[in-house]
Amino acid sequence: MGIQVQNISKNFGNYTALDQINLDVPSGELVALLGPSGSGKTTLLRIIAGLETPDAGSIHFNGEESTKRHVRERQVGFVFQHYALFRHMTVFDNIAFGMTVKPKGERPNKTRIRERVTELLHLIQLDNIADRYPAQLSGGQRQRVALARALATEPKVLLLDEPFGALDAQVRQELRRWLRKLHDEIHVTSVFVTHDQEEALEVADRVVVMNRAKIEQIGTPEEVYENPTNPFVFNFLGNVNLFHCRGTGSGEEKVPISFPGEATDGSVGYVRPGDIRISRTAGSAEDLPAEIVSIQGAGALPRIELRRLDTGESVQAELPRERYRELGLKIGEKVFIRPTNMRVFVPDYQI
Amino acid sequence: MSNQSLAVAPTVSAALTEPKAVRWLLTGLALAFLALFLVVPLLAVFVQALEKGVGAYWAAIIEPDALAAIRLTLIAAGISVPLNLVFGIAAAWAITKFKFRGKAFLITLIDLPFSVSPVISGLIYVLLFGLQGWLGPWLKAHDIQLIFAVPGIVLATIFVTFPFVARELIPLMQAQGTEEEEAALVLGANGWQIFFRVTLPNVIWGVLYGVILCNARAMGEFGAVSVVSGHIRGLTNTLPLHVEILYNEYNFVAAFAVATLLALLALLTLVAKALLEKKVRHTVKSASKPIGVE
């Protein structure tokens, strides 16, 4: 079931949580709402679920106006940040809850409920914990039980609020891969909120970057990472180097300024550390002289910190291991850097 | 790890505590105080009651006026405790799970009976419903007697014991938050299902704890009830009032005999309270640490 969000606004007192949000979640997709805390992403999720009412705008499920529809009738599954498992019920009763509260006529019988719970326990790979209480489970297990509970009523839409927020790094990694796999199997339209860009880029089909009550960009993980439409998205999705630029006179092209006093036209070039090329000899006039300040050789991509000799600004670079070994860089060495893949923005607001 | 800390523990505690003499002195003082002000008076009640033997003791308790007082006390508690249970749960549920204007005012209002002297609480009812009171003439015209009758006693008891259940539940339910209720709501539960299957089971020990305290106060209340009762023997005397009357008549054995009933109630309450406290503390602890936060 697709979700259409139209012109949704929400204020809490003087605080604007959402400002005229428009968003289309196509049926069967896994969409991430990504943004810093206070960007309004959780509020948007709660409005879609019906747990919050918008001040203005409307929510449509499959084109059908649902803004006024009660939470109970929206057929959504919701996974809370801290799971909100019923602490006095066993895992079995937690998962069965959604089925047992259905009105008499629609309620599945006991055997059917048992079957469905067993099925879900199998799906979340926790077949043997039906009789345990939430307090006896690890964080990762609780999260999966919460997911099974949300799926038990066969929701048309699955909403997850910071689903991996309270877990440690390794369980997080494991669970998000598992969630991706699960989604590929059951294809329920899903929206999840996160402030972790890595998580959003790795798991989602589509990423919605939010900031200050507005949507900054919507796109596939590759699109938003490769072609951020504004400095905020660029900054939020990873490390970045800034180069003050000047025009070259030939159309839109800009080049980094190459000595401290050189006039800029106000434009700023954004370059990811992985797009900084390091070489021993100057290949062209665009190459900038720099000195190596520190090297962090461990990890998948060795990180090099450099200081530009012309402007004195510091630059972060990441090299593939192979290239790193080939160059054999030393601290204090003088090299040349060339920013590639530079995106130039004329800043119209402060980050 | 745990073995290590066990081995280290004695030296640490020795370094953190006072010399032996000081410890004994302080503990001894505390125990002496307890004995003097709590244990001895309690024993005195029983000793005085049994001074003239078990026969006199028993006679004082099965005397018709005493039985009437016991009956009235049970009636007053039997009506006011269930009512305050319902009021208290409803108030705590409204205050902790919903947002509305005037919430702070409502909380203050619930505390009012704690801050007003019980005698004043009784007087309020006399001034309202008494013959000279605002509603007195109307009540008399319709032949309804509240003051110096059982309804007045019940009303005064309800007023005085009103805060117990709500006061016990509000912090507990606040600590538990609304996430579980929201989860139940999204899963399709209606209001009653959420209340009976999610909210109530989570606070049940707190509810019992509040009821025990509420009951102890309802049965032991003196001031407010004394003002509205009129002290009519066999009719409007509750147990505490009956004790007072007997005492004022220099009938010490009977007074203390009836007093032992209240003392026993207090002891039972304390035992139940101690047992429940453990359970409540456990639920508060698991609530303040939301499930899932490692």
Q: Is A331 on the interface with B (CB under 8 A)?
A: no
Q: How many CB pairs under 8 A join A and B?
A: 84
Neighboring chain A residues of B198 at a CB cutoff of 8 Å: 86
- Model pLDDT, residue B4: 45
d(CA A89, nearest CA chain B) in Å: 9
d(CA B106, nearest CA chain A) in Å: 22
Residue with tokens 């180069």: A243
- Model pLDDT, residue A297: 82
d(CA B164, nearest CA chain A) in Å: 24
In this predicted structure, the answer to whether residue A155 has a pLDDT above a threshold of 50 is: yes
Q: Say how far apart CA A284 and CA A338 lie, in whole Å.
A: 9
- Model pLDDT, residue B287: 56
Residue with tokens 């010399």: B19
Among B172, B187, B286, the strongest candidate for a mutation testing the A interface, having the largest count of A CBs within 10 A, is B187
C-beta separation of B165 from B207 below 8 A: yes
Residues A167, B294: C-beta atoms closer than 8 Å: yes
Q: Is B117 on the interface with A (CB under 8 A)?
A: no
CA terminus-to-terminus distance, chain B: 20
How long a stretch of residues is chain B? 294
Q: Is B6 on the interface with A (CB under 8 A)?
A: no
Q: Is B285 on the interface with A (CB under 8 A)?
A: no
Q: Say how far apart CA B223 and CA B240 lie, in whole Å.
A: 10
Q: Which residues contact A314 (CB under 8 A, 6 or more apart)?
A: A293, A305, A306, A307, A308
- Segment 178-217 of chain B within 8 Å of chain A by CB: 179-180, 182-190, 193, 197-198, 201-202
C-beta separation of A40 from A209 below 8 A: no
C-beta separation of A315 from A241 below 8 A: yes
Residues A71, B185: C-beta atoms closer than 8 Å: yes
Neighboring chain B residues of A152 at a CB cutoff of 8 Å: 187
- Model pLDDT, residue B7: 47
- Model pLDDT, residue B294: 38
Per-residue pLDDT of chain B (294 residues; tens, 9 = 90+): 444 444 444 555 667 778 888 889 999 999 999 999 989 999 998 998 888 888 888 888 888 888 999 999 999 999 999 999 999 999 999 999 888 888 999 999 999 998 889 899 888 888 888 878 788 888 888 888 888 888 889 999 999 999 999 999 999 999 888 899 999 999 999 999 999 999 999 898 889 889 999 999 999 899 898 988 888 887 888 999 999 999 999 988 889 999 999 999 889 888 988 888 777 777 666 655 544 443
- Model pLDDT, residue B292: 44
Neighboring chain A residues of B293 at a CB cutoff of 8 Å: 82, 166
- Segment 141-160 of chain A within 8 Å of chain B by CB: 142-143, 149-150, 152-153
Q: Say how far apart CA B283 and CA B174 lie, in whole Å.
A: 12
Q: Say how far apart CA A239 and CA A228 lie, in whole Å.
A: 13
Q: Output b/e per residue, B49-88; b: 16+ Cβ within 10 A.
A: beeeeeeebeebbebebbebbbebbeebbebbbeebbebb
| Closest in B180, B190, B193 to A84, CB measured | B180
Residues B182, A80: C-beta atoms closer than 8 Å: yes
Q: Say how far apart CA B21 and CA A169 lie, in whole Å.
A: 53
Neighboring chain A residues of B279 at a CB cutoff of 8 Å: none
Which residue in chain B has the smallest CA separation from A144? B292
Give pLDDT tens digits for A297-314: 887 888 999 998 888 888
Task: Kindly report the pTM of this predicted structure.
Answer: 0.77
Give pLDDT tens digits for A56-104: 999 999 888 888 888 888 889 999 988 899 999 999 999 999 999 998 8
- Model pLDDT, residue A247: 73
| Closest in A85, A101, A149 to B189, CB measured | A101
Number of other CB atoms surrounding residue A88 within 10 Å: 19
Q: Is B286 on the interface with A (CB under 8 A)?
A: yes
d(CA B266, nearest CA chain A) in Å: 31
C-beta separation of A162 from A35 below 8 A: no
Instruction: Report residue A206's pLDDT band, with 50, 70 and 90 as the boundaries.
Output: very high
Neighboring chain B residues of A87 at a CB cutoff of 8 Å: 180, 202, 286, 291
Average pLDDT over residues A254-265: 70
- Model pLDDT, residue B88: 94
- Find the range with the poorest average confidence among A3-12, A20-29, A253-262, B256-265: A253-262
- Model pLDDT, residue A321: 87
Structure-block tokens of residue A245: 């630029």
In this predicted structure, the answer to whether residue A158 has a pLDDT above a threshold of 90 is: yes
Among B182, B186, B280, B282, the strongest candidate for a mutation testing the A interface, having the largest count of A CBs within 10 A, is B186
Between vectors from CA A213 to CA A209 and to CA A219, what angle results, nearest 5°? 20
- Model pLDDT, residue A263: 66
Instruction: Report residue A1's pLDDT band, with 50, 70 and 90 as the boundaries.
Output: confident
- Model pLDDT, residue A50: 92
C-beta separation of A2 from A24 below 8 A: yes
